[in-house]
Amino acid sequence: MFVLNRKIVYLSTIIAFSLILVNPAYSQEPGPPKIPEPSPEPQPIPIPEPEPIREPFPEESDTEKIQRLSKENTQLREENLQLKIQVTELNKIIENLQAITLEQIKVIMQLVQQLQEAIFSMPSSSPTNL
C-alpha cells in the first residue's frame, strides 16, 4: 500500500510539472506577435445639399418693395410718435403723484406734531381725558 501511494504521488508530481511546462504562460520564449486585421473604413457621411435662399417677397418688383417699406416706415413713425406722447403723459402723472405724496407727508407730519403738542400739553394727572 505504501508503494501504491508513492506511485500516485510520483505520477501526480510528474503530471503537474508537465502541465506547467506545457502551459504557454510559463514558457520562456514569447510567441510571434499576431498580425492585426485591418479595420474596415467607415463610409463618409454625405453633406446635405443646402436649400436655396428664397426672396421674402419674390413676386414684388423693386418699386413695390420701396412703396411697401416706405408705408411700413410711416406707420412705425406714427407709432413712435404716439408712444412718445404716452411717455410724456405718464411722466406728468408721475410728477403729479410725487407732488401729492409730498403734500400728504407734510400733512401727516403736521398732524403728528399737533398730536405731540396735545399729549405733552395735557396735565399729567388725567391722561384719559382725550
pLDDT in tens, the chain (130 residues): 566 677 788 778 888 777 666 665 555 666 677 887 877 888 888 888 888 877 666 677 888 889 999 999 999 999 999 999 999 999 999 999 999 999 999 999 999 999 998 888 876 555 555 5
Quote the DSSP letter at residue 30.
P
- As for how many domains the chain has, the answer is 1
Enclosing domain of residue 107: 85-122
Q: Does the residue 26 lie in any domain?
A: no
Q: Does the residue 108 lie in any domain?
A: yes
Q: Does the residue 75 lie in any domain?
A: no
Q: Does the residue 103 lie in any domain?
A: yes
d(CA 101, CA 103): 5
Q: Does the residue 60 lie in any domain?
A: no
SS3 content of the chain, % helix, strand, coil (to 5): 65, 0, 35
Q: Does the residue 91 lie in any domain?
A: yes
Which grid coordinates are listed for 99? 407732488
pTM listed for this prediction = 0.42
Q: Does the residue 106 lie in any domain?
A: yes
